[in-house]
């Protein structure tokens, strides 16, 4: 597998406090990478950096051979990002999923058709025309995921996507991630130390903003051989 992301001496500081320090890291194209760590370990910061929503205080992040400085729209379309507690815009679930397509100038009828397919893909069974205000936490998570998936990004960064889901929904989501990985989509999924049900290509453990090299890949190897 070739590298999709390459990080060199990346440091992120907030108000002078270092929250993330990664000497070197490669994330592979088409891989399912799991990012584990407790609260405040730096998982969300790393994902935001990979999503080009923040710029590192120091160091370099390369995406597919391009040094990430400021994300232009073309580049953004290649990177999907679902935050821990997704923000849904006012309106219906359908409006939310169609929004990114609208930004691309796709016609309404096509937007609608693509959005409905994305709802089906993530297993969103509620009426997509209903207001987002009426959705449960789990449903909101699925809408946010459908909103990202519909844009067909090359890589999807998911910050604790299993947080608001019941066991059944977790299983279907895990199956979806495996399906996406088979389709060649790269995935980086963060979570607490309870994502063993995900057949990851690589597992990274973050603690206090640093990658625990001793833990890198060990569980992944075991899981892959199952």
Partner 1 sequence: MGDFEAALRLILTQDAELLEIVFTSLEISLSAVILAALIAVPLGGIIGMAEFRGKRLLEQFLSSLMALPTVVVGLLLYGLLSRHGPLGEWELLYTPAAVILGQAVLVLPLIVHLVSSAVQSADPRLGPTLESLGAGFFQKLKGFLAETRTGCAVAIATGFSRAIGEVGVAMMVGGNIQGLTRTMTTAIALETGKGEFERGLALGLILLGMAFLVNWVIAWLKRAA
Residues 6+ apart with CB under 8 A from 172: 123
Which one, 79 or 220, has the nearer CB to partner 1?
79
CB of 143 to partner 1, least distance (A): 12
Picking from 78, 77, 60, the residue whose alpha carbon sits closest to that of residue 69 is 60
Cβ-based neighbour number of residue 39 at 10 Å? 7
Nearest approach, Cβ of residue 207 and partner 1 (Å): 25
Cβ(3)–Cβ(28) under 8 Å? yes
Asked if 86 interacts with partner 1 (CB under 8 A), we say yes
Nearest alpha-carbon partner for 195 in 154, 163, 153: 163
């994330």: which residue's tokens? 27
Per CB under 8 A, 106 contacts partner 1: no
Site residues for partner 1, 142-171, by CB under 8 A, read 147-148, 151
Q: Which is nearer to partner 1, 51 or 165 (CB)?
A: 51
Residues that bind partner 1 (CB under 8 A): 48, 51, 53, 71, 73, 76-77, 79-81, 83, 85-87, 89-90, 99-100, 103-104, 147-148, 151
């Amino acid at each position: 597998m070739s590298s999709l992301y390459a990080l060199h001496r990346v440091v992120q500081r907030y108000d002078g406090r270092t929250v993330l320090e990664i000497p070197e890291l490669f994330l592979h194209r088409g891989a399912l990478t799991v990012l584990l760590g407790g609260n405040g370990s730096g998982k969300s910061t790393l994902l935001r950096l990979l999503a080009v929503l923040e710029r590192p205080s120091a160091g370099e992040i390369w995406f597919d051979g391009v040094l990430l400085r400021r994300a232009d729209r073309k580049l953004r379309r290649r990177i999907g990002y679902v935050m821990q507690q997704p923000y849904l815009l006012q309106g219906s679930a359908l409006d939310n999923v169609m929004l990114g397509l609208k930004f691309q100038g796709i016609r309404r009828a096509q937007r609608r058709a693509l959005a409905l397919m994305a709802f089906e893909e993530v297993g969103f069974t509620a009426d997509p025309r209903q207001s987002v205000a009426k959705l449960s936490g789990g449903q909101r998570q699925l809408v946010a995921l459908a909103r990202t998936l519909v844009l067909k990004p090359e890589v999807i960064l998911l910050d604790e996507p299993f947080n608001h889901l019941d066991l059944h929904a977790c299983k279907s989501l895990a199956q979806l991630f495996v399906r996406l990985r088979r389709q060649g989509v790269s995935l980086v999924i963060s979570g607490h130390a309870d994502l063993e049900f995900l057949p990851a290509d690589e597992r990274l453990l973050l603690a206090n903003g640093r990658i625990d090299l001793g833990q890198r890949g060990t569980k992944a190897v075991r899981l892959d051989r199952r």
